[in-house]
Structures are given as C-alpha cells and as structure tokens.
C-alpha cells in the first residue's frame, strides 16, 4: 500500500482512535483489493472473514429477503469502513456487499483484527466507535423514511454530496438512479417525482449532474418541519 492508502485508513473511524504503532502494525498485514463495477465482495450468510476500508469508489451493502427482493442497507465511499462488529464476533455477514463503481478497498483479515483487539484494548474502543457510527446512520435512515418526504430525502442526499455550503453549485450523482432510489427508500417512479418537485426549489437534474441554484435554500427545504412535510406528502 502507498502512503496515501495509509492516510485514508488512519483517518477512518475504525482506526483514528488506535495508537499509531497498533494501527500501522495492523495495516502491515492488510491487502488492497481492486474491484470492477458490480463485483461482489461477499455474500449474505458467508463467514465474516474480513473488514474493509474504502479507498475510492462506492460500495453498497444490501440484504436479500426470503421472497428474493433486495433492500439497500448502506452505501459507502472513501474513508468508510464496514464489517467490523460481525468480523470481531466471528459470525456470518448479515448482508451482501457489491462494488457499484470501480473501487479500491483495504482488506483487513478478521482473525488478525481479533488478535489485535486482545492485545490492545484501545483497538476495541475504535471498533465500538465505528459500530456506533453505523448504528447512528441506520437511525438517521429510519428517521428519513418515517419523517421526511421523498423530495426532502433527495434534497438531503444532494446536500451530502454538495462541494459548497452556500450559493450555487454542481453535484455529480455518484451512482445510478435505481441505486439512489433504493438508498433513499423510494421506488424509481417516486424518485422521478421527487426530482420534479425539486425543480421548484432551484434543482435541475441532467443525466448524472444536479445543478443547485441555492444550497442554503435547499437546506431549508431538507430541514423543514417534519410534521408539516408529512401532511404535504
């Protein structure tokens, strides 16, 4: 791995709280994995034998229901880690993981990580921090689904990607609209309606580019009173 790979890994929630010597020793055993678009990292039910940190690209976690339908659980990009808690437990992955773009990941062997935790309690605290972040993200997703309209969910998604805090800006949609819909808990047709509603709030979508006239105004829409938004939708 290059020095840049080490910097990305050390900045992740999983590693930022680890003592530097411990983190570097763990990374010395790690390996890079380059994935093509749609490549499978692991399947639901497989033994959890690794933890991953995304170096570049996008990766989705999804779960297959008994009737065969897939539900997107999370989407990760540069600097995010996943698989920590289940790898520490030594169980099976409860979800599947797939690269939705070309991606590069750092793969940390689960058994090596477990041994590191036994030798360094600080490593366990780092793992708990990462697990808390994932839990917090899932709670936020539930809130999005329960208390926000489709247009508000799309507005929040665009704001997460926006490179500026105010004024006008351009946002590149990182993956296809079908996955965006799944990520936001929307049907594809509901996503199209949400995009149409955002035109009245200064957002124009062309292929994979979103033009935002006023980031601050869009933020007001995203943060609008939840009770009022439920009535509107």
Q: Which helix (H) or strand (E) holds 99?
A: strand 96-99
Considering the segment(s) 3-141 as one domain, its CATH architecture is: Sandwich (2.60)
Encode pLDDT of 55-103 as tens digits: 999 999 999 888 887 888 889 999 999 988 888 888 899 999 999 999 9
C-alpha torsion angle, residues 216, 154, 52, 72 (rounded to 10): 160
Encode pLDDT of 141-166 as tens digits: 776 777 789 999 999 999 988 888 88
Encode pLDDT of 108-140 as tens digits: 999 999 898 888 877 777 777 777 777 777 777
Euclidean distance between CA atoms 29 and 47, whole angstroms? 20
Structure tokens at 149: 């309209």
Structure tokens at 22: 């411990």
Euclidean distance between CA atoms 81 and 62, whole angstroms? 15
Start and end residues for every CATH 1.10.10.10 domain found in the chain? 148-232
Encode pLDDT of 171-187 as tens digits: 998 888 889 998 888 88
Start and end residues for every CATH 2.60.120.10 domain found in the chain? 3-141
What fold is seen in the domain 148-232? Arc Repressor Mutant, subunit A (1.10.10)
> Rounded to two decimals, what is the model's pTM?
0.80
Structure tokens at 188: 């594809």
């Amino acid at each position: 791995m290059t020095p840049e790979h080490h910097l990305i890994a050390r900045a992740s929630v999983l590693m930022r709280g680890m003592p530097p010597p411990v983190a570097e020793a763990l990374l010395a055993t790690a390996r890079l994995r380059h994935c093509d678009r749609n490549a499978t990292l692991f399947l639901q039910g497989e033994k959890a034998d690794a933890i991953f940190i995304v170096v570049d690209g996008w990766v989705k976690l999804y779960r297959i229901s008994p009737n065969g339908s897939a539900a997107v659980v999370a989407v990760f990009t540069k600097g995010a880690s996943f698989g920590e808690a289940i790898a520490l437990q030594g169980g099976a992955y409860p979800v599947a993981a797939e690269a939705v773009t070309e991606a590069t990941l750092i793969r940390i062997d689960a058994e090596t990580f477990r041994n590191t935790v036994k030798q360094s309690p600080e490593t366990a605290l780092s793992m708990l921090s990462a697990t808390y972040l994932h839990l917090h993200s899932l709670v936020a997703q539930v809130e999005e689904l329960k208390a926000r309209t489709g247009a508000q969910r799309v507005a929040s998604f665009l704001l997460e990607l926006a490179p500026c805090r105010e004024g006008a800006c351009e946002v590149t949609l990182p993956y296809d609209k079908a996955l965006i819909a799944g990520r936001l808990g929307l049907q594809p047709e509901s996503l199209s309606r949400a995009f149409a509603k955002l035109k009245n709030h200064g957002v124009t979508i062309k292929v994979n580019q979103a033009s935002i006239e006023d980031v601050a105004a869009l933020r007001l829409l995203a943060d609008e009173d939840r009770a009022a938004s439920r009535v509107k939708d």
